[in-house]
Amino acid sequence: MTSSNFIHRFEPGTRLEASPLLLLHGTGGDENDLLPLGQIVAPGSALLSVRGRVLEHGMPRFFRRLAEGVFDHDDVVRRAHELADFVDTARKTHRLAAPIALGYSNGANIAAAMLLLRPQTLQGGILLRAMVPLADPPAADLSGRSVLVISGAHDPIVPAANGAQLAAMLSTAGANVERRVLPVGHQLSQADVTLAKQWLETRQAAADAAVSG
Ligand code: MLT
């Protein structure tokens, strides 16, 4: 097992019924980056925030790339499984339900790869500026999983068609996918925060209603 040695931060939740979040930073980020975002969009949720183990000129990432937007597919597969192993172990340690991944850029891409390769590890995902991580992933069963894909209409790194292709891929695998396109570039905007928070609140309200019958 490779699972024990991801640098990470864990913040226990104060609302036990709320889904935990798995926070995955963009290239050059670390485990501290998305904690404030997680606290805003999911107040009271347990937060597991992980640092990518691949270094590109000293910048942490979650998998190797050959050029911007050109991925080393074997490495994507290997790293997605390593991260999923880590999350599965952390879930046991902290007694967590399957988390919702909240990933930005490279972090959103590894989250998409995990959804396709290890669907049992995650409950769903909020994928911010994500692209297709694997050209030809194995068939996955994502039924019961919900995914929000938020793209930027003017993103110079992720072509609009690529974000749409990812959403279609996840949806074909059975996930309940919502895709939104904002009039922004690759950077995050306030609208991302608002949409992510609303999407989580709607999901939680539906889950609460299902429990109370
Ligand atoms: C990636 O490498 O995952 C994407 O190009 C996004 C990025 O990290 O710049």
Catalytic site residue 81? Answer: no
Residues 179 and 151 sit within 8 Å (Cβ to Cβ): yes
Neighbours of 34 (CB within 10 A): 26
pTM exceeding 0.85: yes
Of the candidates 19, 45, 49, 105, the residue annotated as catalytic is 105
**Does ligand 1 lie within 6 Å of residue 63's CB atom?**
no
What tokens were used for 5?
């040695």
What tokens were used for 106?
């490279």
pLDDT digits (tens, 9 = 90+) for 65-117: 999 999 999 999 999 999 999 999 999 999 999 999 999 999 999 999 999 99
* Candidate from 106, 114, 128, 188 with most ligand 1 atoms within 8 A of CB, to mutate: 106
pLDDT band at 4 (very low <50, low <70, confident <90, very high): low
pLDDT digits (tens, 9 = 90+) for 170-179: 999 999 999 9
Bridge-based pairing state of the strands 21-24 and 8-11 = unpaired
